[in-house]
Amino acid sequence: MDRRQRIAITEFVSDRTPRPLLAPVLNFDLAEEVASLRAEEAWTAHGHNARTLIKHSELRLVLITLRDGYQLHEQQVAERVSFQTLSGALRVHVPTETLQLRSGQLIALDRQVPFTVEALEDSAFLLWLGWSKD
């Protein structure tokens, strides 16, 4: 029986090496992080993968990789969000418009704005999420 089968069903265990999400200083090589996500089984099997890089009480930063054609279905969060494309191209659908994001571009959405993200090619992006202390 592998390690995942021995834990409670509500508990998630990653095969990744644990590392701090909260520290006075965190340093990342984003190209290396993207390569690591694309080397994992989730990328190969499902066409997407993600890793939380920073988890402060008021901010989350998630690195997300999407395969060409993959779509993150509609999301709506209580806090502000922004997307910064690192590589590839994304289409972000919001109620009032559709935005194209190429490498190096960034958009920000106010609270409660629903969005859908679609990869127009293999892509990597940072998702910045404001986070309430409530």
pLDDT in tens, 96-129: 999 999 999 999 999 999 999 999 999 999 999 9
CA distances (Å), 30 to each of 2, 45, 93, 109, 131, in order? Answer: 31, 22, 25, 23, 22
Q: Within 10 Å of residue 66's Cβ, how many Cβ atoms?
A: 24
For residue 65, tell me if it sits in a domain: yes
For residue 73, tell me if it sits in a domain: yes
In the chain, the number of structural domains is: 1
Pairing mode, if any, of strands 106-109 and 81-87? antiparallel
The boundaries of the domain holding residue 62 are 47-134
In this prediction, residue 1 carries a pLDDT of: 36
pLDDT at 18 over 70: yes
> How large is the average pLDDT for residues 86-100?
96
pTM given for the model: 0.83
For residue 126, tell me if it sits in a domain: yes
pLDDT at 4 over 50: no
CATH number of the domain that 117 lies in? 2.60.120.10
Residue 65's nearest CA partner among 127, 126, 124, 105 is 124
Residue 45 near residue 17 (C-beta atoms within 8 A)? no
